[in-house]
């Protein structure tokens, strides 16, 4: 089983960016840990600061992956184009956020992508990604951590 993690803008700066909100850990280190923890699944990772590249990757993932764990970052709140890309593919997409977007500024309370996702996970730090993976495995009844 293959799953894809996609991170949107500014998430390449995790570990350095606003550590009081997003923590001190670099995403690549966390991703390596996830690959060790989920040995029975094939995990791939993609990050881009560009909306079109994120859309291309979502299109490209259809067929190739069983699901996507997506942190669209700031595009969550603005992008009809990413929402449409999620609707256009046939694989489940789980929305994740490191911070609890509902505890933050009001503009973050709206997710343009949430209605098109399988579900949303917000506020568990980097472990939101782990929970996102587990939700896709649970859906397929293949929990093997």
**Applying CB under 6 A, which residues contact ligand DQA?**
10, 71, 73-74, 76, 97-99, 101, 108
Pick 35 or 108: Cβ nearer ligand DQA:
108
The total number of residues shown for the chain amounts to 145
Residue nearest to ligand DQA as judged by C-beta position? 73
Give the residue from 123, 108, 133 showing the smallest Cα distance to 22.
Answer: 123
Pick 71 or 135: Cβ nearer ligand DQA:
71
Shortest separation between residue 99's beta carbon and ligand DQA, angstroms: 3
Cβ-proximal residues to 40 (8 Å cutoff; 6+ apart), any chain: 1, 142, 144, 145
C-alpha 6/C-alpha 116 separation (Å) is 16
Give the residue from 110, 61, 65, 115 showing the smallest Cα distance to 87.
Answer: 115
Is 77 catalytic? The answer is no
Is 22 catalytic? The answer is yes
Pick 1 or 99: Cβ nearer ligand DQA:
99
Shortest separation between residue 134's beta carbon and ligand DQA, angstroms: 17
Shortest separation between residue 138's beta carbon and ligand DQA, angstroms: 22
Give the residue from 115, 113, 82, 79 showing the smallest Cα distance to 97.
Answer: 113
Catalytic: which of 30, 31, 97, 129?
97
- The set of catalytic residues is 22, 97
């Amino acid at each position: 089983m293959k799953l894809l993690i996609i991170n949107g803008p500014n998430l390449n700066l995790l570990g350095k960016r606003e550590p009081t909100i997003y923590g001190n850990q670099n995403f690549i280190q966390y991703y390596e840990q996830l690959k060790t923890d989920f040995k029975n699944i094939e995990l791939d990772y993609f990050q881009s600061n560009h909306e079109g590249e994120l859309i291309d990757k979502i299109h490209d993932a259809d067929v190739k992956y069983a699901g996507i764990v997506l942190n669209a970052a700031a595009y969550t709140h603005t992008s009809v184009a990413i929402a449409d890309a999620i609707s256009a593919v046939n694989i489940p997409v789980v929305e994740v956020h490191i911070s609890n977007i509902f505890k933050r500024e009001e503009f973050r309370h709206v997710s343009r992508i949430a209605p098109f996702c399988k579900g949303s996970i917000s506020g568990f730090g980097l472990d939101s990604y782990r929970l996102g993976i587990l939700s896709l495995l649970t859906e397929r009844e293949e929990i093997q951590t």
